[in-house]
């Protein structure tokens, strides 16, 4: 005769004390009510799919032809590029995350149940798809798997806006996610945040500036530019780097991985065309939005050797100069009359009427830029070193990254300049030409000018004047290609891990092989091991806390 089974339902943390309701003379079945701990992934800048207030597609890395057509073709003006992303002037509510593209969602991740309701549609699948799949399909060992459920969510955001505003959006999403499970009778109190690059700033904004810390079990930040990145400066001066090689930048990379390297070159060059092949194109976008400017080096930024003066050059007398002395915003980002200024006023897209070669009819674009920069500075000063109490950060080393900015310079006569085709037009006059004259701003994508006296005006007189031409050196620091080690490992956190991407088989600080790194995957499939270790660390702490309470 089959005995009835005595079924007892308990919450997982009740396993730490005597279980009531068990019967001695019949079989017992203990059913554990699993706690839901949503994992929320927050992508990096430009990793969220965006639409404007009219529902029109604005930014979609998964639609390559759309991106090339709207941003990358030679006939696309700076005004159009800026207008698509920012509108007539910056408005943080102009763009929203595009989550509801049913065709896109079905094609990219239709096989995963309710993924569209978990925010996956707002994330660039071409950048993060592999990573999301790995995390969605990951199974924890027991007892974690028996006691917890980890639905994977994603939270895209309007990366043109300040990370302060995006942090508030993430905080609201955390509240909404927890409420969604709780209102359906599930036990759900906290979430885990996993971030990539600028997403780390968004997450820290949510937890440290908007009060979400108590609802976050732990945060895992991957290659977060905690103090900014020299790459933001470099790209606003010279455009996005075109790929020159793999991790070691040698012929050996081609011999080892010919297919991967071909894809790397094609994908990287296409990305440069879309994002900006020169400083003027990149500036037209990033200078028009606080979010982009918040990736600039902050007052706490140092190079990988710990030096706060990260911008270096020699003047025409051979004297070495290193900046900033105190304030990068005033000394570099708002500077106008020096070659190392971040922004050329003539590169700020707007309808401007020129009164003369040295004067514009309006400086409105500069006022708008200054306003955006002040928003970025305010965010930097508000966030500083604040971090969630349970934070895991990991960074990458081994790829050339701009931990410092170094200018080379050469002296040329006017005849040399003409033979190089450096300037588009020469003015036959003794009148001084202001440095804001766009016809005298660039020698190539990476070069600008300064005259022999270093701080004087450029005089277009071939008989009496030579010029110094300053060129940006390619980044030589170590990092992930964008975020140098100094910024990625800056925070004082509970755990710091790293990944070495300089050898054929990368290894991390935990002694585990992570395989080859695919540079076309922005999230980096190789961060999976670090993420898993971080999740296990979070859960171990959480279980101990619950056990002590019981």
Q: How confident is the model at residue 522 (pLDDT cuts 50, 70, 90)?
A: very low
Q: How confident is the model at residue 337 (pLDDT cuts 50, 70, 90)?
A: confident
How far CA 157 is from CA of 43, 59, 165, 253, in Å, comes to 8, 12, 9, 36
Rounded distance, CA 215 to CA 104, Å?
31
Between 157-161, 385-389, 420-424, 511-515, the lowest mean confidence (pLDDT) is in: 511-515
pLDDT: which is higher, 318 or 110: 110
Q: Where is 479: in which H helix or E strand? A: strand 477-479
User: Which run of H or of E encompasses 81?
Assistant: helix 78-86
Whole-number Å distance between alpha carbons of 224 and 205: 13
- Name the range with the highest mean pLDDT among 40-54, 140-154, 456-470: 40-54
Q: Specify the pLDDT at position 452.
A: 35
Nearest to 472 by CA among 228, 307, 235, 227: 235
Q: What is the pLDDT of residue 280?
A: 78
List the single range of 155-159, 183-187, 221-225, 313-317 with lowest mean pLDDT: 313-317
CA 175 to CA 191: how far, in whole Å? Answer: 10
Alpha carbons 45 and 229: distance in angstroms, whole number: 13
Reported as a single tens digit per residue, the pLDDT across 14-58 is: 887 888 889 888 899 988 899 999 999 999 998 999 999 889 999
User: Is residue 165's pLDDT more than 80?
Assistant: yes
DSSP, collapsed to helix, strand or coil, labels residue 415 as helix
Q: Cβ(517)–Cβ(264) under 8 Å?
A: no
Helix (H, G, I), strand (E, B) or coil at 54: coil
Q: Which of 113, 73, 507, 81 is nearest to 292 (CA)?
A: 81
- Residue whose C-alpha is closest to residue 194's, from 41, 44, 43, 38: 41
Inter-residue contact 90 to 290 (CB < 8 Å)? yes
> Quick one: tokens of 322?
């290193």
**Structural domain boundaries in the chain:** 6-33, 39-224+528-549, 227-240+276-389+404-474
* 231 against 536, higher pLDDT: 231
Q: Is the preceding peptide bond at 508 cis, omega within 30 degrees of 0?
A: no
pLDDT digits (tens, 9 = 90+) for 378-426: 999 999 999 999 898 988 888 899 999 998 877 665 555 544 444 433 3
Q: Quote the longest CA-to-CA distance of the chain.
A: 113
Rounded to a whole number, what is the distance in angstroms from the first to the last CA of the chain? 39
- For residue 526, give both structure tokens: 């190789």
pTM of the entire structure?
Answer: 0.81
The half-sphere exposure of 17 on its side-chain side, counting CA atoms within 13 A, is 11
């Amino acid at each position: 005769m089959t005995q009835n089974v005595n079924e007892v339902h308990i919450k997982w943390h009740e396993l730490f004390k005597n279980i009531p309701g068990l019967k001695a003379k019949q079989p017992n079945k203990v059913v554990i009510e699993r706690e839901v701990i949503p994992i929320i992934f927050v992508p990096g800048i430009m990793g969220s799919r965006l639409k404007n207030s009219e529902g029109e597609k604005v930014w979609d890395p998964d639609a390559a032809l759309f991106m090339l057509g709207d941003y990358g073709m030679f006939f696309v003006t700076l005004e159009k590029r800026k207008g698509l992303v920012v509108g007539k002037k910056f408005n943080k509510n102009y763009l929203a995350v595009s989550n509801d593209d049913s065709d896109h969602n079905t094609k990219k991740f239709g096989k995963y149940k309710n993924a569209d309701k978990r925010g996956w549609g707002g994330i660039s699948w071409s950048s993060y798809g592999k990573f999301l799949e790995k995390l969605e399909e990951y199974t924890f060992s027991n007892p974690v798997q028996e006691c917890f459920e980890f639905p994977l969510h994603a939270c895209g955001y309007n990366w043109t806006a300040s990370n302060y505003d995006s942090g508030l959006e993430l905080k609201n999403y955390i509240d909404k996610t927890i409420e969604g499970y709780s209102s359906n009778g599930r036990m759900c109190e906290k979430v885990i945040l996993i971030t990539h690059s600028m997403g780390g700033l968004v997450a820290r904004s949510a937890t440290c500036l908007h009060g979400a810390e108590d609802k976050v079990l732990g945060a895992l930040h991957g290659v977060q530019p905690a103090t900014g990145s020299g790459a933001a400066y470099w790209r606003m001066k010279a455009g996005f780097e075109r790929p020159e090689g793999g991790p070691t930048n040698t012929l050996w990379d081609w011999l080892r991985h010919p297919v991967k390297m071909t894809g790397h070159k094609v994908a990287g060059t296409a990305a440069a065309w879309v994002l900006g092949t020169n400083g003027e194109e990149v500036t037209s976008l990033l200078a028009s939005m606080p979010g982009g400017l918040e990736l600039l080096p902050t007052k706490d930024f140092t190079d990988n050797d710990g030096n706060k003066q990260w911008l270096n050059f020699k003047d025409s007398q051979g004297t070495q100069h290193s900046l900033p002395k105190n304030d990068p915003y005033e000394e570099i980002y708002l500077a106008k009359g020096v070659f190392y200024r971040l922004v050329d006023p003539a590169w700020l897209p707007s309808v401007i009427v020129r009164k003369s070669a040295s004067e514009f009819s309006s400086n409105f674009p500069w006022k708008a830029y200054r306003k955006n920069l002040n928003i970025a500075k305010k965010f930097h000063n508000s966030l500083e070193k604040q971090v969630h109490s349970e934070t895991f950060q990991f960074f990458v080393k081994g790829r050339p990254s701009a931990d410092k900015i170094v200018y080379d310079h050469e002296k040329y006569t006017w005849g040399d300049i003409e033979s190089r085709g450096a300037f588009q037009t020469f003015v036959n006059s003794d009148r001084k030409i202001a440095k804001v004259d766009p016809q005298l701003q660039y020698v190539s994508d990476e070069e600008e000018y300064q005259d022999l006296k270093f701080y004087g005006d450029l005089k277009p007189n071939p008989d009496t004047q030579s010029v110094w031409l300053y060129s940006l050196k390619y980044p030589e620091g170590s990092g992930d290609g964008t975020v140098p080690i100094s910024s990625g490992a800056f925070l004082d956190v509970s755990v710091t891990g790293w990944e070495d991407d300089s050898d054929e088989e990368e290894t991390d600080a935990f002694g585990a092989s992570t395989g080859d790194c695919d540079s076309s995957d922005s999230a980096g499939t190789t961060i999976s091991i670090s993420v898993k270790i971080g999740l296990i660390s979070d859960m171990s702490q959480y279980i101990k806390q619950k056990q002590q309470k019981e």
